[in-house]
Amino acid sequence: MKQLITLTFFLLTFTAFAQKPCEYSVNVNDSIGSYKITNEYMMSEKYFGGSFSYIFFALAQTDGMPTLNVQLIQKSKDFIKANCFDKNSKIFLQLENGKIVTLMHINQESCGTLVRDDKGFDNRINTGIFMFMKDNYEELKKSPIAIMRIKYLTNIEDYIVKRELVSELNGKTSHPNTYFIENIRCIE
pLDDT tens track for 155-188: 999 999 999 999 888 888 999 999 999 999 999 8
Buried b (16+ CB within 10 A) or exposed e, 118-141: eeebbbbebebbbebeeeeeeebe
Which of 39, 33, 46 minimizes the C-alpha distance to 69? 39
Looking from the CA of 155 toward its CB, the CA atoms found within 13 Å total 8
Domains of the chain, by residue range, sit at: 21-45+58-70+78-110+129-187
The Cα-based distances of 161 to 6, 30, 94, 133, 152 in angstroms read 39, 37, 10, 21, 18
pLDDT above 50 (res 23): yes
- pLDDT score recorded for residue 19: 63
pLDDT tens track for 62-117: 888 999 999 999 999 888 888 899 999 999 999 999 999 999 999 889 999 989 88
Cβ–Cβ < 8 Å for 142, 97 = yes
Amino acid at 67: T
